[in-house]
Amino acid sequence: MKLETLDVGGVPVEIRTEGSGPPLLYLHAEQYVEQAEPYLEALAKRWTVIAPRHPGYGATPVPADFRSVDDLAYLYLDLLDRLGHEHVVLVGASFGGWIALEMCVRNHARMSKLVLVSSVGVKFSGREERDFADLFYLPDIEAFPLLFADPKRYAPDYASMSAAQLEGLARERQMLAHYGWRPYLHNPGLKRWLHRVDLPTLVLWGEADGFARPAYGRSLASALPAAQFTLVPEAGHYPEIEQPDAVIRAIDAFIAK
Amino acid sequence: MKVWHFSELAYHPAWQELGPQLRNVVPSRLCDPRVAADLYHRYLDEWVLCDELGLNIMVNEHHATATCIDSVCTIPMAILARETKKARLLCLGMPIGNRFDAVRVAEEYSMLDVISRGRVEMGFVKGAPFEVTPANSNPADLMARFWEAHDLILKAMTTHDGPFNWEGRFYHYRQVNVWPRPYQQPHPPVWLTVNSPESAQVGGERGYVIGSLNTGYVRTPGIYAAYRKGAASQGRQVTPDRFAYMAMVGVGATPEEGYRRANHILDYSRTALRVGAQFAFPPGYQSAAATAQALRWPGYGSGVAMRTMQLRNGRQVDVTAATVDEFIDAGICFAGTPDMVFEQIKAFHDHVGGFGHLLMMGQGGHLTHEDTVDNLTLFSREVLPRLGDLGLSARAAAE
């Protein structure tokens, strides 16, 4: 595993590169980034996994002029140009899936396939409904059962975490608010341009996701030109944490097709 | 010393029916508008009385809560600008980071200042953490928005040569041209609320009046010291009129009567923190370190926020069940006969190095109109005349 901080167009980006094989760019979810590490290690058995930390999440600060998901999309398009990879498999988890969609409506020339795991970012419902449960309104005791199929096993246990880990969680929530507070976890203009995401796409969804329900995932898959929808049993909003093997099997099967 | 009477305009009739949360989640069917009308008129009468008693007036605002039905601070300010003649009118304050139309704020404050013939004191506040939810105001960039609003409001109130352009990060106007211009020149005095040494230091750098609200015996000296440090960094002299302290005040003819009144008012303190932990720590409102500490609180996950206050010996007590004596010990309440209240204020004043404004919560919680009138009257007659010397002695000491 290689950890480095690359200068991408003047923005320092922490990047973890691991494994060998064809390139796979992995964009992490809005929170619990550390908990997805075993999944990345498993992915790296077959892929060269390139996993940047979104600015503001790890040791690198969020640039003062980064205000929306657009900025992250352009940052990672710049990163791909800089690395020079072709035929990249792009995998985005939740918030990372939103970034991946914003990248693909702009330019997916370097991508061969797209995998969206519980991706947020698009508004399908009416003005008096929400597509995503309001994480900023719910106490953990109500939010965790929406986020995890087995919250007892997978939800963070604050009492057992170090101060640095808890501060990491606090920063994740801060960045989530920074990019996703209003409009809530979506770009109102994105749905209009989803036809541009015309590359083979796998939309993976936790069967027990109560935060972004499978029905939303189906709407997303239907709105994309070349997407298939697959449910992952016994997983909530973070299948890569609860069912990493099933997620990797689904990705392998999709790529092999 | 100037004294300001403050009430949150509690809708206390709903408190009995409610569970652990009084903020954000409470349905408005629990508010009977006829009862609310009576309460508004009654609370306004108490503020109007201050004009005769030589007390000044402070209003604030909160949202979506039974603890405070003053949801638009400029409405009582407007009524009082017309109904009073002498009292100064402090709004502490306007949550400018949660207001998405900063020019409107400049217009409201200017108009109030003109109608009151220059009696407005202009508070700019960050707002309590649970306020970001009803405003849907992003807590992660709240302070950046606060300071841009501050800059724009002051420029709008002090520019008199026709329209100017503003294309900032949060606010966009191409033609800012506020009418009327404020009565006080260049603009009404600016107040900030502070709750930490860090925010107090910024207040000191800018020379504004800071209000520290119920910050108590243990925390207040550090907050005032940080203000002085900030002022010194800019070469400013600090006078006591830069410091305002808020406490609950219950005065009575006997110690028992004063305590009884304080005990009613303190129902404010016992209920103000009945708020879900998720609302008390919105993402980015506090530092990552402070939020991390909150996550360790055993009740956090089930939505129960930390609700303690510190006594002088360092012991933490549960605010929702604390006694009048504990609140007095903490420096959050002054209660008893006029003599007792004066001695408590003097002791606190000397402990923190002096302050020029007492923000007196003379009504709160279930305290009745009759008790409030008597509380304010007795205070103004028996305590207020003696407070003038406190400010002077502190000023002399500072010089």
Neighbours of B394 (CB within 10 A): 21
Question: What percent of chain A shows pLDDT beyond 90?
Answer: 98
Question: Which residues of B make CB contacts under 8 Å with A?
Answer: 24, 133, 136, 138-141, 169, 276-278, 282-284, 288-289, 291-293, 295-296, 298, 300-303
pLDDT at B348: 97
Confidence check: pLDDT of A87 > 80: yes
- Cβ-based contacts of A148 with chain B (< 8 Å): none
Which residues in B294-305 are b (16+ Cβ under 10 Å) and which e?
Answer: bbebeebbebbb
Arithmetic mean of pLDDT over chain B: 94
- Residue B364 CA to residue B263 CA, distance in Å, equals 9
User: What is the number of alpha carbons within 13 Å of residue A76 lying toward its C-beta?
Assistant: 34
pLDDT at A216: 98
**Which strand (E) or helix (H) includes residue A57?**
none
Pick the residue from chain B with its C-alpha nearest to A168. Answer: B288
Q: What is the pTM of this model?
A: 0.95
Confidence check: pLDDT of B302 > 90: no
> How close B159 gets to chain A, by Cα (Å)?
29
Residue type, A177: A
> How close A70 gets to chain B, by Cα (Å)?
16
Position B399 confidence tier, pLDDT thresholds 50, 70, 90: very low
Position A199 confidence tier, pLDDT thresholds 50, 70, 90: very high
pLDDT at B393: 53
pLDDT in tens, B112-145: 999 999 999 999 999 999 999 999 999 999 999 9
Q: Show the DSSP H helices in B73-141 as ranges.
A: 74-83, 102-115, 132-135
Confidence check: pLDDT of B392 > 70: no
Confidence check: pLDDT of B306 > 80: no
- Cβ-based contacts of B139 with chain A (< 8 Å): 177, 181
Number of CB pairs, chain A paired with chain B, less than 8 A apart: 77
Position B398 confidence tier, pLDDT thresholds 50, 70, 90: very low
For residue A184, with 0-12 CB atoms within 10 Å meaning exposed, 13-18 middle and 19 or more buried, which class applies? middle
Beta-carbon separation of B139 and A177 below 8 A: yes
pLDDT at B297: 85
Least CB–CB distance from B301: residue in A140, A175, A177: A140
Confidence check: pLDDT of A102 > 60: yes
CATH code, domain with A134 = 3.40.50.1820
- Cβ-based contacts of A178 with chain B (< 8 Å): 138, 140-141, 284
- For residue B291, how far is the Cα from the chain centroid? 23
- Cβ-based contacts of B136 with chain A (< 8 Å): 181-182
Picking from A216, A161, A213, the residue whose alpha carbon sits closest to that of residue A32 is A161
Mean of pLDDT values over B376-396: 82
pLDDT in tens, B195-229: 999 999 999 999 999 999 999 999 999 999 999 99
Question: Can you read off the two tokens belonging to residue A86?
Answer: 């072709």
- Cβ-based contacts of A67 with chain B (< 8 Å): 169
Picking from B19, B27, B22, B20, the residue whose alpha carbon sits closest to that of residue B66 is B22
pLDDT at B391: 61
pLDDT in tens, B172-191: 999 999 999 999 999 999 99
Residue in the structure block whose two tokens are 């009740």: B299
Structurally, chain A folds into a number of domains equal to 1
The count of residues in chain A is 257
Beta-carbon separation of A141 and B300 below 8 A: no
- Cβ-based contacts of B274 with chain A (< 8 Å): none
Position A164 confidence tier, pLDDT thresholds 50, 70, 90: very high
- Cβ-based contacts of A142 with chain B (< 8 Å): 303
Domain assignment of residue A192, given as a range: 2-256
Beta-carbon separation of A170 and B277 below 8 A: no
pLDDT at B260: 98
Which DSSP letter does residue B23 get? B
**Which strand (E) or helix (H) includes residue B8?**
none
Question: Can you read off the two tokens belonging to residue B297?
Answer: 């609180």
Does the ipTM exceed 0.90?
yes
Pick the residue from chain A with its C-alpha nearest to B295. Answer: A158
User: Are the CB atoms for B235 and B206 separated by under 8 Å?
Assistant: no
Q: Give the dihedral sign, CA B257/B263/B266/B268.
A: negative
CATH class of B2-398: alpha beta
Sequence-separated contacts (24+) of B155-162 with Cβ below 8 Å: B156/B102, B156/B103, B156/B106, B157/B106, B157/B109, B157/B110, B157/B181, B157/B182, B157/B186, B157/B187, B158/B186, B158/B187
Mean of pLDDT values over B7-13: 94
Pick the residue from chain B with its C-alpha nearest to A172. Answer: B283
Strand-pair category, A227-232 with B357-361:
unpaired
- A117 φ/ψ angles, rounded to the nearest 5 degrees: -105, 110
pLDDT in tens, B228-285: 999 999 999 999 999 999 999 999 999 999 999 999 999 999 888 888 888 999 999 9
Least CB–CB distance from A166: residue in B24, B296, B298: B296
Picking from B379, B267, B378, B257, the residue whose alpha carbon sits closest to that of residue B12 is B267
pLDDT in tens, B34-62: 999 999 999 999 999 999 999 999 999 99
Top pLDDT among B396 and B338 is at B338
Which DSSP letter does residue A145 get? H
> How close B191 gets to chain A, by Cα (Å)?
28
Residue type, A90: L
Least CB–CB distance from A178: residue in B140, B277, B293: B140
Beta-carbon separation of B292 and A139 below 8 A: no
